[in-house]
Structure 1
Amino acid sequence: MNKDLIINALQKVREQKPLVVNITNFVVMNNTANALLAVGASPIMSHSKQEMAEMMSFAGALVINIGTLDSVWRPGMFFAVEQANDNNKPVVLDPVGCGATKLRTSTARQLAELADNLIIRGNASEIIAMAGEKSQNKGVDALDSSEAALSAARALVDAYDCCVVISGETDYVVTKASTHALNNGHEMMPFVTGMGCSLSAVTGAFAAVGETTGLAATAIFAIAGEIGAEQSKGPGSLQMNLLDALYQLDDQEVLRRLNIQEC
């Protein structure tokens, strides 16, 4: 059943080519736009309040990444979520560095509270901090295991009526109905900046076609990373090869590689 969901969602993304609006950080704009294009979606990077109402009327989903917060972008993020709500569009929240500063933590929680149709995608330390538990982070890097964040993820699911994706050596996808562990990907992936941010953007593409759990996007991205790493000498070539793998990924390869368990 899960395999069918993942395959069907990938086909829908490639057929429908949904427009995904990204308010994301300066570091990863190019990476995330290319990941969306490679998987079959259409990216737009926009943070202007002046066009956001119009943008969300025809876009498929909104992705908000708080990696480079400032006094201009922050109110624009709240306005964008309001427009997504008004147009019944899903919101993917990437709480980058949540727990590192009070500003990041409070902003992530306020955005989550505001969003009607929400997926949270973060690393273990970000998820733990967002739930109000004590996390171990170093800037935007996680020092907690993804398994250690499961109770925090479930608390967030209950608090915000959302789905949560925990990225790590094992990825976990937590919804009200189920928890799945995904053991794809590669140990080299954390050495490329913006990997998690790119997954958040791709999660927006899948949400735009109706797969709002985060499961399909997480599986597809991890499998692409696994394939890309097998062809790479290091992080530089991995970034390129992952995009190629996303673009070339077919149903048979997904089925062959998918390593998923229900917890």
Structure 2
Amino acid sequence: MTLVKLTSVAVLALALGACQSLFTPNYRAPLEVKREAWEHVKPGCSESDCPLVNIDVVHFPALPKLDDIVEKRLLMLTEDNQRGTPPASLQAYEQQYLARADKRNSTYLQAKVREQHDGLVIVELSSYLDSGGAHGMPGRGFINYSRKLDKVLTLDDMLVPGQEATFWKTAEESHRAWLISTGMDKDPEFVKTWPFKQSPHIALTYGAVVIKYEVYSIAPYSMGHVELKIPYPRLNGVIKPELFPGRG
């Protein structure tokens, strides 16, 4: 009789465990991503250099909250945000931009999934504003979205408390390594003109923590958006352990 009861309890425990696994999100499986892209020129313009808007964005059918975050962050990259409140939507931005844009003006906004791992969705944001000059002005940004925490991670969320100074010291060491790899360490004027700076653009990619820089931040325009990469082993005790790839 006791054996029967024990067997029944074991079967019940296995059944409950199986049911629980059915309802637990599988963070190893990436979220479905759908792309939406369009390009429109100024209404009524038939010239070869009509103003245009190019939008290339991603959607997450299972996580519409992330769609809203991506759209808002893209709108923060537009020139409108430099003068006040950004538009309410990408469609509204397009209408406002085309209404005032001159010939040879164009704007590009893009969001793409750089990668997904360990329940993190890393979205890279790009912008390019061409006002008809010698070259346009590009912009960049990252979203590190934790599906487990259901939020966008800030640097404070990523770091062990009290380790921010150590993080930026490690980043500065990576900057020195970048100078050596490009040969710029041998140019005293370059080193003086383009010193190390902090950047808000940080991504927890699978291979390394990436710090990305705007043009004219730590290098001239011609060198583009510089990326510093810090391997995770160098950030032991600095990045929260649960955010190391494979540990979550």
Q: TM-score, normalised by structure 1?
A: 0.26
Larger Rg: 2
TM-score, scaled relative to structure 2: 0.27
Higher RCO, 1 vs 2 (CA within 8 Å, ≥6 residues apart): 1
